């Protein structure tokens, strides 16, 4: 199986990929490396700038809930 290297795609394609992802998936992806985090920030900066807060809740390792909100109200991820 071949791997897909996000850094090799043009910035417009990266933006489309990240824009189609849920915020929770973007958050987890940003933990992979500093380079990926910077790529995400530059690709969807306007979307990230609208986030006011992120809440994290975990009652066990298998039960994690992360939600965020922006000026328009809550965004569930």
Interval 23-52: pLDDT, tens: 888 888 999 999 999 999 988 888 777 778
50 touches 70 (CB < 8 A): yes
pLDDT at 9 exceeding the cut of 60: yes
| Rounded distance between C-alpha atoms, residue 77 and residue 68, angstroms | 7
Picking from 33, 67, 30, 65, the residue whose alpha carbon sits closest to that of residue 51 is 67
**69 or 32: which carries more pLDDT confidence?**
32
33 exposure class (CB count in 10 Å sphere: 0-12, 13-18, 19+): exposed
- The whole-number pLDDT of residue 72 equals 64
Q: What percent of the chain has pLDDT over 70?
A: 91
Q: Rounded to two decimals, what is the model's pTM? A: 0.65
């Amino acid at each position: 199986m071949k791997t897909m290297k996000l850094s090799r795609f043009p910035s417009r394609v990266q933006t489309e990929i990240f824009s189609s992802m849920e915020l929770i998936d973007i958050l987890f992806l940003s933990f992979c490396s500093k380079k990926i985090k910077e790529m995400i920030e530059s690709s969807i900066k306007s979307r990230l700038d609208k986030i006011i807060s992120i809440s994290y809740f975990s009652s066990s390792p298998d039960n994690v809930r992360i939600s965020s909100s922006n000026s328009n109200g809550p965004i569930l991820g």
